[in-house]
Structure 1
Amino acid sequence: METTPTMETPMIANVTCLLNPPVRMGAAPPGFVRDIPQGRCGQQFHSRYRDGRRVHKAARAIERYMWDDVPRSAGDRMVNVAGQQMERPTEYSAVNLLKDAGVDAERWNRIPDEATIKRTVEAIEARNIRVIIVDTADEALQAVIDLIPGGAEVMNGYSTTLIEMGFDRVLEENPKGWRDYHAVITAENDTEKRHALRRKSVAAEYFLSGVQAIAETGEFVACDKTGSRTGAWPHAAAHLVLVSGANKIVPTLEDALRRCREYCLPLENQRAQRAYGIGSYIGKYVILDREETDGRVTLILIRQPLGY
């Protein structure tokens, strides 16, 4: 389970709640840029960032990613930066939480055989969800980079999988000139404005998220404490890009829900206690059963154990 804290409360992973109607593709959310307080964007970053994610460059990112300042043609070329990245366990990766979480990793964190992966991919695609299957985290990172066009509006929910892939470094360097919604949210020191920006962010042009469980029958399950991220899942985001290790594949939808409770939650609870000094719980679930809009949802599935 993968979460992002605010100053006020820690969160668990991916959850559901439709907060705003979709924003027109290519358009900035109303009031998004003009509401950013200039001259304050460098304050309090360390209190809202963790796991070595982008901090020191976030203030410069605000100016660099302003909607009107990024030409649409910038970065439309193929950028091969994935080869420079390595999957990298963090302090809060599963391997560093398992001992204290008391979970059954043998049951819930194994890579299925190739026949099972193939069957699962076919079931997902039958639900109108595109699948890109890769062997390594580096290949997954390159697939993400290739998928999102230059100058696009990008938001991501906190994801251990994305961090282990090296996506945070790519987002910090931003070779394709993406308009980084998360950097602007983090730069906002006013609590009310920050919450408003976070609510609008679920309607980003491209929203990236991890996954808690995938059933062999094709359903995706995500869970979260507050629901701050998976509001993008059902409808709000114009494009939803999900990344997942094959270790999250389980036989049935019921098993997927059990994986959330018996594996993801104990690990997330350990992470939350270490990071924020407070435990966590599952407040909301979202199940992605089928996608109505062609081409809206893409899963990048990695034949490696990533995230939890």
Structure 2
Amino acid sequence: MSVKTVVPDETFAAPAPAGQLDRATAALRDNGFIVHVVDSATEARELVTGLIPGDESVFTTSSETLRLSGIAADLDESGRFASVRAGAEDPKGDVQAVVRLGATAEYVVGSVHAVTEEGHLVIASASGSQLAPYASGARKVVWVAGAQKVVPDLETALRRVRSYSLPREHRRLQKFGQSSFIGKILIVEREALPERATVVLVREPIGF
């Protein structure tokens, strides 16, 4: 089902206060994630590109956070990294081909739609193409998220996905004559493999 008339709930656009961000950071670390907190998207860009080795394959998921921060361009267009997207043939709408590309990369870089104070991450997707490498396909995963994505609990996180992230994505796609819907939702509660998953929290809002 596509979204046609829902107005985004702009209460989810405001960055979380410092105390809430601190609680989410501590919980994420307790749940097995490496966490970096930075002040700006520029700092996140410098940090993330420093985390990715130039000789390891990297897959960037479709993300406004990565696009707006310049991270996607750095990883896919600079020529300094072994970008899976840059080196692959055009899948021409073949979603399964995109899924296979991402699942075989050593590193996957993307974003999430919500981070809870309990240290859980929520990612929604229409096709699910980014979920396979996020969950287990990639050897390393790096998520970048603005502070506006930090919410108290899982119930609020799912409400944020449906009442803010989805309508914003629908509006973005309308410019291209498309629409959006939620096909699959991934909830990451804990990372079992040491040092596999890194979360970069940005104190300023970026993405949706």
| TM, length-normalised to structure 2 | 0.91
Partner residue of 1:188 out of 84, 90, 94: 90
1:53-72 equivalent positions in 2, closer than 5 A: none
Residues 101 and 270, structure 1, Cα contact 8 Å, conserved in 2: no
Query: Size of the alignment, in residue pairs?
Result: 204
The structure with the largest helix share of the pair is 2
Partner residue of 2:128 out of 214, 224, 227: 227
Partner of 2:44: 140
Larger Rg: 1
Structure 2, unaligned runs of 5 or more: none
Deviation digits for residues 203-231 of structure 1 (CA, Å, limit 9, x no counterpart): 31110011101111110000011101111
2:92, 2:63 → 1: CA distance? 25
Q: Which deviates the most, 219-228 or 160-169?
A: 160-169
Deviation digits for residues 72-124 of structure 1 (CA, Å, limit 9, x no counterpart): xxxxxxxxxxxxxxxxxxxxxxxxxxxx862221x211112211111110011
Partner of 2:174: 273
Partner residue of 2:30 out of 126, 138, 142: 126
2:98, 2:175 → 1: CA distance? 27
2:202 is equivalent to residue 302 of structure 1: yes
Residues 101 and 267, structure 1, Cα contact 8 Å, conserved in 2: no
Q: Secondary structure, in 3 states, of the residue corresponding to 2:109?
A: strand
Return the offset for 1:255. 0.4
2:66 is equivalent to residue 162 of structure 1: yes
Deviation digits for residues 20-70 of structure 1 (CA, Å, limit 9, x no counterpart): xxxxxxxxxxxxxxxxxxxxxxxxxxxxxxxxxxxxxxxxxxxxxxxxxxx
What is the percent sequence identity of the aligned residues? Answer: 34
Return the offset for 1:299. 0.4
2:61 is equivalent to residue 178 of structure 1: no
Go from structure 1 to structure 2 and tell me whether the alpha carbon gap of 1:156 and 1:112 turns closer, same or farther (over 3 Å shift). same
RMSD of Structure 2 on Structure 1 (CA): 1.9
Partner of 2:138: 237
Return the offset for 1:191. 6.5
Partner residue of 2:158 out of 240, 252, 257: 257
1:267, 1:190 → 2: CA distance? 25
2:195 is equivalent to residue 290 of structure 1: no
1:3-152 equivalent positions in 2, closer than 5 A: 102-105=7-10, 107-152=11-56
Return the offset for 1:184. 2.7
Go from structure 1 to structure 2 and tell me whether the alpha carbon gap of 1:274 and 1:236 turns closer, same or farther (over 3 Å shift). same
Q: Secondary structure, in 3 states, of the residue corresponding to 1:242?
A: strand
Go from structure 1 to structure 2 and tell me whether the alpha carbon gap of 1:139 and 1:284 turns closer, same or farther (over 3 Å shift). same
Return the offset for 1:178. 1.7
The structure with the largest strand share of the pair is 2
Task: For 2:200, give the aligned amino acid.
Answer: I
